[in-house]
Amino acid sequence: MKPLNTDRISIISVLPLLLMHTVTTVLVCYSTVSWFAVSFGVFMYYARMFGISAGFHRYFAHRSYKTSRVFQFIMAFLATSATQRGPLWWASLHRVHHKHSDDLEDVHSPIHRGFWWSHIGWLFVKAYNSPSTENMKDFYKYPEIKWLDRFHYVPPIILGFATYILGSILELKAPSLHTSGFELLTWGYFVSTVVLYHGTFTVNSLCHLFGSRPHNTGDYSRNNGWIALITMGEGWHNNHHYYQSSERQGMYWWQIDGSHYVLKFLSFFRIVWDLRTFPKKTAPVDTMEESVALPAPAPAIEPQATV
């Protein structure tokens, strides 16, 4: 097996995330804060987390349910507004992750590259800026999806302007909310986006390090209920790796899965349909970690910076 393609770290790849974190920090220092702005930020976090979870992940990467072409675009647009690139880029690399989960060719395995690599470092690799679309032919045929993937910065820009305009209108029409365009832009877009980054990234990093492993999946994927709460159900990661095509990732009633609840509700109105789920006789395998054949960590390879 050939080693993971790390290529060289590109400074240009680092800039967008670095800029987003820097601008957000500066804005928080100068912005006012209100309960409405924070609440709106929480709403925007979970709305776009749903886009990432139910859209980029469960639909574009795994095709775990069906929907119309119009709603397909709406889900792609919502997820792209999370400022995590476009649907083809996101889903393509995720399919690579499942194909090589925790082996040497996994895009973001913490087992072989460590926590920080799996959490955020892999995003800075030049080779991952333009992954192959060979594994995305099922969606590459849609011109509107290709356009959205190419111009993935458009939805975040639209959302930023819309948030600022909404805050400005509320400042004039509903002064009792004590908000403004600048404040709502800061907390509703910038802060919620940065928090959303790390909420999403925890699935790649923490869900391969901490939690339970009821299923023998041959990798280090784990179930983590705390992460499930902040990722609309994505924390049931071992369940997901055990049966990847299931739209539902919480296998039992007590495994909270926010994205599944919303998709189930939408299915009542036929907005989505054919939601795939676990086989009826699926049962957890009670296995100790040391009894499962798992890949050995690879020697560390330090990436080098380039422009």
pLDDT digits (tens, 9 = 90+) for 55-98: 999 999 999 999 999 999 999 999 999 999 999 999 999 999 99
Quickly state the pLDDT bin for 9 (edges 50, 70, 90).
confident
The mean-pLDDT minimum among 41-45, 46-50, 217-221 falls in 217-221
Position 306 scores a pLDDT of 40
Euclidean distance between CA atoms 301 and 10, whole angstroms: 16
Sequence-distant (6+) residues with CB within 8 A of 19 are: none
The percentage of the chain sitting over the pLDDT mark of 70, rounded to a whole number, equals 89
Q: For residue range 150-208, what is the model confidence (pLDDT) as tens digits?
A: 999 999 999 999 999 999 999 999 999 999 999 999 999 999 999 999 999 999 999 99
The residue among 190 and 127 whose pLDDT is bigger is: 190
Position 7 scores a pLDDT of 57
Q: Would the pLDDT of 262 be above 80? A: yes
Using CA atoms, how far residue 123 sits from 100, 142, 167, 229, in Å, is 17, 26, 32, 24
Q: For residue range 202-256, what is the model confidence (pLDDT) as tens digits?
A: 999 999 999 999 999 999 999 999 999 999 999 999 999 999 999 999 999 999 9
Sequence-distant (6+) residues with CB within 8 A of 301 are: 3, 6
Q: Would the pLDDT of 4 be above 70? A: no
CB–CB of 210/237 below 8 Å? Answer: no
Let me know the angle formed at the C-alpha of 199 by 27 and 246, rounded to the nearest 5 degrees.
145
Pick from 32, 28, 26: nearest CA to 179: 32
Quickly state the pLDDT bin for 293 (edges 50, 70, 90).
very low
Task: Tell me the HSE value of 300 on the side-chain side, using a 13 A CA sphere.
Answer: 7
For the chain, what is the mean pLDDT?
A: 89
Quickly state the pLDDT bin for 129 (edges 50, 70, 90).
confident
Position 299 scores a pLDDT of 42
